[in-house]
Amino acid sequence: MRLKYGIIGVGAIGGFYGGRLANAGCDVHFLFHSEYKHVKEHGFQVDSVEGDFHLSDIFVYNNSFDMPKCDVVLVSLKSTQNHLLPQLLEPILHESSMVILIQNGLGLEAELALSFPQTTIVGGMAFICSSRVGLGHIQHKDYGSLNIGFYQHRNESVLTRFLEDCCCAGLTVTVADDLYSARWKKLVWNIPYNGLTVVLNATTEQIMRNSFSRQLVKELMEEVRAAALANGATIEESFILDMLNMTDEMRPYSPSMKLDWDNHRPLEIRSIYLNPIEEAKKIGCPMKKVEALSQILLSLSKNAELI
Amino acid sequence: MRLKYGIIGVGAIGGFYGGRLANAGCDVHFLFHSEYKHVKEHGFQVDSVEGDFHLSDIFVYNNSFDMPKCDVVLVSLKSTQNHLLPQLLEPILHESSMVILIQNGLGLEAELALSFPQTTIVGGMAFICSSRVGLGHIQHKDYGSLNIGFYQHRNESVLTRFLEDCCCAGLTVTVADDLYSARWKKLVWNIPYNGLTVVLNATTEQIMRNSFSRQLVKELMEEVRAAALANGATIEESFILDMLNMTDEMRPYSPSMKLDWDNHRPLEIRSIYLNPIEEAKKIGCPMKKVEALSQILLSLSKNAELI
């Protein structure tokens, strides 16, 4: 029997992965919010460097109570909305459902596990340049791989079938042995660039070209790595240089927080900054410059009280 | 014999103190740069909460070679211009001249002492709300006291006569026993507010009203105090709360760095940030959040290579 997929948070990320699975013939059920009516009438459009496609005949919902029970749920809500997850997920989970949180930052799986202690929870990190460009319309510009890792209750059989579906859909999915280290590794990049593109109103390229911001990026990365190691994660020393080199070679890029900022959306400060800062402090390895950056972001953010 | 005064850097600060001394009948010689011609023709106007006055018959110069030797020289150039001081001061100093650096930050007296090891050097800290509002025209809005302290070669007799002149001119001048501590105390205020008003594009009042930036201000102050103590300066613990309370009670205020930023002038990052950061590092008491703030300022500053 085919896996039944639920997509919670059909933005640039959920729309891309869910769309590709649906386009490959998988049984995918999309939960929309404000775009529901538009997509129901006009379908969903993905413009992609790997080939454009339009989904006109897909299962769309504006309430998860109307959705079927799902075997795999991809969650790609902004993490600022995660307080809604228990209520959104409850109706669509069965006892062997696998929930994949494709979100940025730390501590989100642990939070979800409080509400669903028996559910298979997987963390996912998308390495992708994709953005919403209109109603029911996303644009995928570069990359696209997804790195996932189990947080609790490994379920190899669902995982295997999920990986097969992804393969059919032409998606590159890798499985990390150690989700916690993978999360911290992602933070090594996310912490400097998400915040500094907002505070300096700059692209990654502009940041790398300025000797002062480039140096600050490097020092922020070193703080994150030190805190990760203190917490038992594994990150090679060379990883920092790798990230700097990779960013040098990327096209000028605005990370998700910069896009959120430019579009007056709440910033994911809690998951990308406050949770890691908390873990670092607890272990006696505070990330002082990261703290300063997060405090400046909180000060700038109009929705800071809500994060 | 009357003291002969030289004013180097006739902006909002030098114009106010020099102007008041001249208005009280002291023998004051003003070095102008771009405003020379205007002031020579139209005089110098001070609008002040303590009474407006116009100086039409004053000694103005556009080259310090034309100035007489001075007994007291008030330097209130932006510290970003201090590399010009040896050349500007050389022609107007005699062997018992007293130079008062009314500037922000740390390390400026030591720098000057390298060029003038035999000269009486005094540090000055102005507590004043004053700004240039036009050619040869400044506006003094609030406060006005000057706190000074000897850096090298105490000269009590010139000091006494200077204080008498200030008294006649209605200026409040206090003498600090310990210039080094006084400089650090000023930094407790200057370091958080100068940088954050720029980075957050906010007034002191907006910063104090936002719980996140208020907290960051307090932590920056604590870092500065800890570094000051480690370097042997004396600052009471209660001083931080005093500064926060004072700022709460001030009218919404833009510190000098914010005014420089808004007017596209170079920022005094070296004297206010880099020099104190260097002293803190040397003693093994790094100010990490202050460093992050200064790195962000350097990244933002178009003239950062020149500071």
Q: Chain B: residue nearest A201 by CA?
A: B300
Q: Is B216 on the interface with A (CB under 8 A)?
A: yes
Residues of B in contact with A219 (CB under 8 A): 295
A interface test, pick of B203, B222, B288 with most A CB neighbours within 10 Å: B288
Predicted model pTM: 0.94
Determine the pLDDT at residue B252: 86
Q: In this structure, are residues B10 and B32 in contact, taking their beta carbons and an 8 Å threshold?
A: yes
Q: Is A186 a catalytic residue?
A: yes
Determine the pLDDT at residue B135: 96
Cα distance from B33 to chain A (closest Cα, Å)?
A: 32
Determine the pLDDT at residue B307: 52
Cα distance from B199 to chain A (closest Cα, Å)?
A: 7
Within its chain, how far is the Cα of B215 from the centroid?
26
**Mean pLDDT score, A165-188:** 98
For the stretch A65-110, pLDDT in tens is 999 999 999 999 999 999 999 999 999 999 999 999 999 999 999 9
Determine the pLDDT at residue A293: 98
Query: Helices A288-300 and B288-300 sit at what angle, rounded to 10 degrees?
Result: 60
Nearest by CB: A200 against B210, B296, B304: B296
Between chain A and chain B, how many beta carbons pairs sit less than 8 Å apart?
61
**Mean pLDDT score, A240-259:** 93
Element holding A101 (H helix, E strand): strand A93-102
Neighbours of B66 (CB within 10 A): 13
Residues of A in contact with B304 (CB under 8 A): 212
Nearest by CB: B199 against A219, A291, A296: A296
Cα distance from A120 to chain B (closest Cα, Å)?
A: 37
Q: Is A200 on the interface with B (CB under 8 A)?
A: yes
Q: Is B210 on the interface with A (CB under 8 A)?
A: yes
Q: Chain A: residue nearest B295 by CA?
A: A212
Residues of A in contact with B215 (CB under 8 A): 295
CA distance B17 to B75: 11
A252 pLDDT band, cuts 50/70/90, is confident
Q: Is B304 on the interface with A (CB under 8 A)?
A: yes
CA distance A258 to A267: 9
For the stretch A131-156, pLDDT in tens is 899 999 999 998 999 999 999 999 99
Catalytic residue among A40, A186, A218, A282: A186
What is the amino acid identity at position B181?
S
SS3 content of chain B, % helix, strand, coil (to 5): 50, 25, 30
Neighbours of B236 (CB within 10 A): 10
Cβ–Cβ of B295/A213 closer than 8 Å?
yes
Determine the pLDDT at residue A303: 60
CA distance A27 to A64: 16
Within its chain, how far is the Cα of B19 from the centroid?
16
Q: Is A298 on the interface with B (CB under 8 A)?
A: yes
Q: Is B298 on the interface with A (CB under 8 A)?
A: yes
Q: Is B307 on the interface with A (CB under 8 A)?
A: no
CA distance A38 to B29: 75
Q: Chain A: residue nearest B207 by CA?
A: A299
Q: In this structure, are residues B211 and B264 in contact, taking their beta carbons and an 8 Å threshold?
A: no
Give me the tens of pLDDT residue by residue for chain B, a chain 307 residues long.
899 999 999 999 999 999 999 999 999 999 999 999 999 999 999 999 999 999 999 999 999 999 999 999 999 999 999 999 999 999 999 999 999 999 999 999 999 999 999 999 999 999 998 989 999 999 999 899 999 999 999 999 999 999 999 999 999 999 999 999 999 999 999 999 999 999 999 999 999 999 999 999 999 999 999 999 999 999 999 999 999 999 999 888 889 999 999 999 999 999 999 999 999 999 999 999 999 999 999 999 976 555 5
A202-214 burial string, b = 16+ CB within 10 Å, else e? bbbeebbebebbb
Neighbours of A72 (CB within 10 A): 24
Neighbours of A132 (CB within 10 A): 17
CA distances from A60 to A30, A169, B281 (A): 5, 20, 59
Determine the pLDDT at residue A305: 52
What is the amino acid identity at position A248?
D
* Phi (first) and psi of residue B41, to 5 degrees: -85, -40
Q: Is A288 on the interface with B (CB under 8 A)?
A: yes
Q: Chain B: residue nearest A207 by CA?
A: B299
Mind telling me the catalytic residues of B? 186
Instruction: Provide the percentage of residues in chain A whose pLDDT is more than 90.
Output: 94
End-to-end CA distance of chain A: 40
Instruction: Provide the percentage of residues in chain A whose pLDDT is more than 70.
Output: 98
Q: Measure the CA dihedral A294/A295/A301/A306, to 10°.
A: 90
A59 pLDDT band, cuts 50/70/90, is very high
User: Does position A301 have pLDDT exceeding 90, yes or no?
Assistant: yes
B122-160 burial string, b = 16+ CB within 10 Å, else e? bbbbbebbbbbeeebbbbbeeebebbbbbbbeebeebbe
* Phi (first) and psi of residue B124, to 5 degrees: -135, 140
A170-201 burial string, b = 16+ CB within 10 Å, else e? ebebeebeebbbbbbbbbbbbbbbbbbbbbbe
Q: Write the ipTM.
A: 0.92
The conformational region for residue A9 under phi > 0 = left, psi -120 to 50 = alpha, else beta, is left
DSSP character at residue B79: G
Q: In this structure, are residues B247 and B189 in contact, taking their beta carbons and an 8 Å threshold?
A: yes
Q: Is B226 on the interface with A (CB under 8 A)?
A: no
Residues of A in contact with B299 (CB under 8 A): 196, 200, 207, 210, 212-213, 216
B253 or A208: whose pLDDT is higher? Answer: A208
